[in-house]
Structure 1
Amino acid sequence: MLRSVQGSGRPALLCAPLVCASLLVGCNRVTPVTPPAHGTVVMSGLNGPQGVYLDEQDRLWAIDSGTGGTTVIGSFPGRGGGAPVPATLGTTARVLRVASSGGEASVVVSLPSLGTLYGMVGGARIVGLNGQVYVTNGQWPLPPQPDGTVPARPTGVAAVVRLDTGGPAEVADLYTWEAGTNPDGVPAAEGGIDSHPYGVAALDGQLYVADAAANDLLRVDPVTGAVKTVTVFAPLQITPAGGGAPVSSQAVPTGVTVGSDGALYVSLYPGGAGEEVAGSAQVVRVDPSSGAQSVYASGLNSLTDVRRGPDGNLYAVSFAPTGPGSGAVIRLKADNVKETVLGGLNFPTSLAFNSRGDAFISVGGVGAPGSGKVVRYDFLTGYQAQ
């Protein structure tokens, strides 16, 4: 996702010290601990991991971008007038599963992965609902081809997919929704018809999907596949570091989670001119019924996810504010209080918690094939701010 989001003109890529023995999950008696220098790798060999999920059986799931494929389905115009770049398709994105304590991961299913001008786009996020597992996958469309044709969307691309026992089943085609309604109103001539379903959360039997290319939040009925726009994220007005007139930057929604108050919280990754401005990212609160928005936290950087921890606080993932190795996890509290609880991460994309506050973080969202990992940090919810 982030390679695509960052590159496109219209964004849619050692054990912890022990806490006291009296730690009680779900209570306030959590003894702060100092973050460890390194976590424990519980899954490796991933190709651009984008999402993690823990199920009720304490199994860890991860999803990656894949490596594209060998089937050429079109091309992208070359940069600076250069030769066209082939768009390739293959079923190389994967959903993998392993015991949360570690071990040999197994591939649950493979999904479409698109090789693009900006990198590989495939699996994004995972969520469980009513005993089923759902994922978001892919981005579409390709641009019109030199001969004037428009390639057809492959099944499972720009879609919500259910992981059935017989294989993946497409639940909702979000590109068709985007093409038919264009909720943010950006003209097609300006690249305004674009769908990249990314963050996903479950609430009251429905799926809520952050479309990183369409700049909106959608509600998907997992039974009927019906789609509805909940809210659209207007461009952010960001003041450059050196001052001057604010620049308009797309508000790219990445992560979505359900807060303790039953509202949805969405992380926004500024695209375009505002992407490089420190402190330009936000987390916004969205009423799931009305779509009304309010800023919950601001002054953040390159957010790729937000999740609620078992302590009730929100935790945001900062991808790479100053380059490789600068990613972080930030605890968000009321009144815009922000606490960096874990730093030095290499292109982190997502995180998930178990009930005692251990965090499972996907890292290496950008990197060589096979270099991605999921790392466990014990009792992260008890870490002191750095």
Structure 2
Amino acid sequence: MLKHLTFATIGATIVALGLGNTALAATFEIIASDLDNPRGLTIGSNGSLYITEAGRGGTGPCIPSPANPTASVCYGSTGALTRIENGTVSRVVTGLPSLAAPDGSEALGVHDVAFDSTGRPYVLVGLGSNPAVRSTLGVLEFGQLLKINALNGGSDWATIADVSVFRQSEHPDRGEVDSNPYSFVIQNNTAYIADAGANDLLKVNLDNGEVDLAAVFDSRLVTNPFGGSDIPMQSVPNAVASGSDDTVYVGELTGFPFPVGGARVYRVADGVPEVFAEGFTNIIDLDFDSNGNLHVLEYATDGLLSGDLTGALIRLNPDGTRTTLLKEGLFAPTSFTFGDSGDIFIANRGIAVGQGEIIRFNYDDDSESVPEPSSWIGLLAIASVGGFLKVSRR
């Protein structure tokens, strides 16, 4: 089945059961459109917004589709890193590797972007398959962390680390050999990478490219939606954020059966994932605002099995309640980031070829909050702080 597709709480643990959710009035504008499978977002050192486009594949070598083994996804150099600067949208890096079905769907490619402390950009290229398939494709950049050497519209990059080969050799979660690096953050000189296919968090030394295991996210038993005994569900960690204490927070999409309210946010300290918050559905991204409030982006707020890809951006408030900042108008959102003026940018229609868009919105926090029924009200645990996708899986 389809596997598809910072806060500083000091001194105490907050536990709340069944806390309500509110929805704020919000307006947004589309600042970029006609994108090919937009995925990761970040603000660069110059204040410009950068977007990764996973591309539309091409007519090159093909491999079985991770979502449908009876079909194929084929290679093309159609991925890009795109910049929005002073209202102008331009592709500043082109020719990045992409895999997709003939119609451009099921795209796998450049999934995320981040800048180091010197302002140098890095991009993460996904895979969604056994790393051995790269020999068939003849393209090794899949499953790798790349350093971008120039933002001039060309194809100038260098490989920093082969993330997927670590999965192939180390096999940390002891499951099938499958790697899909999806999201990463840079702390000091280390990149922390969520591999949604491998169910692990890796760390890469940006000086020498050394790859190490940071954490493994185990499967857990959940209710079988079709009846019978409980079944194992994979974590599918595909979202990473930095905490104000330089720890790492990881959100999970969850694997089949994608239960509503089944996704968790973990705080990773000393290699041990601890549940930080739960009761979310199909998390695709998360981050902390300047006030330390956790924001979570849901890819499909009613769950992937519903067939409804309406997403939601949710803020976890200091008192443990949740506020839905934006839901209407979100369709398969894939990432978000904070601007300098209270704006929030969201990659919307992130699985669409030529239809992807970037939304900018600013919510009115003083507006009247309207109670919203929660489809995933449950246990919320905010642990004390001391100090993606995979896009698919059968």
Do these two structures clear the TM 0.5 threshold for a shared fold by scoring above it? yes
1:331 correspondence with 2:320? no
Mapping of residues 81-92 of structure 1, within 5 Å: 85-92=71-78
Alignment correspondent of 1:278: 260
Alignment correspondent of 1:128: 115
Mapping of residues 1-386 of structure 1, within 5 Å: 7=2, 11=3, 13=5, 34-36=24-26, 38-75=27-64, 85-99=71-85, 102-115=87-100, 119-130=106-117, 131-139=119-127, 141=129, 151=136, 154-165=139-150, 167-186=156-175, 192-239=176-223, 245-273=229-257, 275=258, 277-287=259-269, 290-322=270-302, 323-324=307-308, 326-333=310-317, 337-344=321-328, 345-367=330-352, 369-379=353-363
- RMSD over aligned CA atoms reads 2.9
Percent identity, please.
29
SS in 1 for 2:315: strand
Q: Structure 2 regions of 5+ residues with no counterpart?
A: 6-21, 371-394
SS in 2 for 1:251: coil
SS in 1 for 2:88: coil
The TM-score normalised by the length of structure 1 is 0.80
Contact 2:62/2:137 (8 A) holds in 1:
no
Identify if the C-alpha distance between structure 1 residues 371 and 381 changes in structure 2 by more than 3 Å, giving closer, same or farther.
farther
1-structure distance, mates of 2:172, 2:72: 30
The TM-score normalised by the length of structure 2 is 0.79
2-structure distance, mates of 1:79, 1:12: 11
1:116, CA displacement in angstroms? 5.3
2-structure distance, mates of 1:127, 1:229: 20
Q: AA paired with 1:376?
A: R
Contact 1:278/1:300 (8 A) holds in 2:
yes
Alignment correspondent of 2:13: none
2-structure distance, mates of 1:297, 1:252: 16
Q: AA paired with 1:169?
A: A
Identify if the C-alpha distance between structure 1 residues 57 and 298 changes in structure 2 by more than 3 Å, giving closer, same or farther.
same
Q: Structure 1 regions of 5+ residues with no counterpart?
A: 1-5, 14-31, 187-191
Identify if the C-alpha distance between structure 1 residues 250 and 268 changes in structure 2 by more than 3 Å, giving closer, same or farther.
same
Alignment correspondent of 1:189: none
The structure, 1 or 2, with the larger RCO (C-alpha pairs under 8 Å, 6+ apart) is: 2
1-structure distance, mates of 2:364, 2:246: 23
Q: AA paired with 2:203?
A: R
Please list the CA deviations of residues 227-283 of structure 1 after superposition, one character each: whole Å capped at 9, or x if unmatched. Answer: 00000000133235798753310000111001123221111111022x1x2101111
Contact 1:257/1:265 (8 A) holds in 2:
yes
Contact 2:23/2:326 (8 A) holds in 1:
no
1-structure distance, mates of 2:241, 2:93: 24
1:73, CA displacement in angstroms? 4.0
Alignment correspondent of 1:20: none
1:381, CA displacement in angstroms? 7.3
Q: AA paired with 1:339?
A: T
Contact 2:24/2:324 (8 A) holds in 1:
no
Aligned positions, number: 342
Identify if the C-alpha distance between structure 1 residues 356 and 171 changes in structure 2 by more than 3 Å, giving closer, same or farther.
same
SS in 2 for 1:151: helix
